[in-house]
């Protein structure tokens, strides 16, 4: 007698890491793993496909037991690329196409973060991901390719410090704190930014420096944080407008937001209450890979019911 497949896998496949979780159709978690990044740009190349294959091989060595895989893949952005992206990923995983749900990584992040049906998500980690839904199963990406930008205190600290160095802005303590973090003098800062291959990584670690200066009362850092808070809430309000009128859950999370701690969340809450009093502020309930697992269970249920 043929056994009905009962294993599902959720994967968050991003530019800094790949996180995955397996579980049963009826709930529970069996295994978790984290490994190398597997984001794509356009059509998937062999390297990210190999990472995804290793993940599924480890979590489901026997494909017959596998009911569904849901992958939130950074780089799934455009409809004209989707069918070929889906085909290549399914083939690399040795998986029938109907057992693979492939979506943008923002979608699985929202599925894990939100506990209410109507919800928005602004998740600021290494990068910013945003998504919204008016009903379960209706998760949608907001600015997946980031061309509209989202204010990032780490990146915006660089031109601010440069303007302090050339006299366009008054000097505050933040200038020397940023230079110390970068390990460079003011005179060498421009060359370091343009030529040192380590500069990008160091800049992406500036969050705690800016937030500490903000908490210490630095006026320049306060300006950066205020603009970031406003931009997070502006994006949330734009997503809420797409949902139509009614209360909703507004989730904010990710490593950069977490670095701001309770004071940053309090600032977001205050600005959100002013802009959207119908919103309920919430921290993400679960990580993106758990959101992918939720979507895998939904997809498996639909497939088995068909």
Q: Which residue has the higher pLDDT, 95 or 304?
A: 95
d(CA 279, CA 290): 24
Identify the pLDDT of residue 144.
Answer: 77
Predicted confidence (pLDDT) per residue in 241-276, tens digit: 999 999 999 999 999 999 999 999 999 999 999 999
Residue from 30, 256, 275 nearest 150 by CA:
256
Predicted confidence (pLDDT) per residue in 9-46, tens digit: 999 999 999 999 999 998 899 999 999 999 999 999 99
Q: Which residue has the higher pLDDT, 109 or 1?
A: 109
Mean pLDDT in residue range 86-98:
96
pLDDT band at residue 73, thresholds of 50, 70 and 90? very high
Give yes or no for residue 4 having a pLDDT over 70: yes
What whole-number percentage of the chain has pLDDT above 90? 92
Domains annotated for the chain, with CATH where assigned, are 7-105+287-305 (3.30.420.40), 153-282 (3.30.420.40)
Identify the pLDDT of residue 1.
Answer: 41
Predicted confidence (pLDDT) per residue in 208-223, tens digit: 999 999 999 999 999 9
Is this model's pTM higher than 0.75 or not? yes
| Angle at alpha carbon of residue 104, lines to 233 and 45, rounded to 5° | 135
Please report the beta strands in 61-218, taking only residues with DSSP state E, as ranges in sequence order: 66-73, 100-103, 119-124, 128-133, 140-141
Mean pLDDT in residue range 111-126:
96
Residue from 44, 23, 124 nearest 91 by CA:
44
Residue from 230, 229, 231, 276 nearest 250 by CA:
276
Identify the pLDDT of residue 3.
Answer: 63
Mean pLDDT in residue range 67-74:
97
What whole-number percentage of the chain has pLDDT above 70? 99
pLDDT band at residue 2, thresholds of 50, 70 and 90? low
Mean pLDDT of the chain: 95
The token duo for 51 is 């990472």
Identify the pLDDT of residue 274.
Answer: 97
């Amino acid at each position: 007698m043929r056994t009905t497949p009962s294993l599902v896998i959720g994967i968050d496949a991003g530019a800094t890491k790949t996180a995955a979780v397996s579980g049963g159709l009826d709930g529970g978690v069996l295994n978790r793993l984290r490994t190398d990044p597997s984001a794509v740009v356009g059509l998937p190349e062999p390297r990210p496909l190999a990472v995804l294959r290793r993940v599924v091989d480890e979590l489901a060595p026997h494909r017959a037991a596998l009911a569904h895989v849901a992958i939130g893949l950074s780089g799934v952005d455009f409809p004209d690329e989707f069918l070929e992206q889906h085909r290549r990923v399914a083939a690399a995983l040795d998986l029938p196409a109907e057992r693979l749900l492939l979506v943008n990584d923002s979608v699985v992040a929202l599925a894990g973060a939100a506990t209410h049906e109507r919800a928005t998500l602004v998740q600021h980690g290494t990068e910013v991901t945003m998504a919204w839904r008016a009903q379960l199963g209706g998760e949608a990406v907001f600015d997946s390719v980031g061309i509209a930008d989202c204010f990032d205190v780490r990146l915006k600290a660089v031109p601010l410090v440069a303007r302090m160095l050339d006299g366009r802005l008054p000097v505050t303590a933040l200038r020397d704190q940023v230079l110390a973090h970068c390990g460079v003098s003011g005179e060498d800062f421009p060359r370091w930014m343009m030529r040192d291959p380590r500069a990008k990584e160091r800049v992406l670690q500036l969050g705690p420096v800016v937030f500490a200066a903000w908490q210490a009362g630095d006026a320049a850092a306060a300006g950066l944080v205020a603009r970031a808070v406003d931009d997070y809430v502006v994006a949330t309000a734009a997503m809420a407008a797409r949902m139509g009128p009614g209360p909703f859950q507004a989730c904010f999370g990710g490593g950069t937001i977490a670095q701001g701690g309770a004071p940053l969340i309090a600032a977001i809450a205050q600005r959100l209450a002013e802009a959207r009093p119908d919103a309920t502020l919430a921290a993400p309930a679960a990580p993106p890979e758990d959101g992918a697992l939720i979507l895998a269970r939904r997809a498996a249920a639909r497939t088995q019911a068909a």
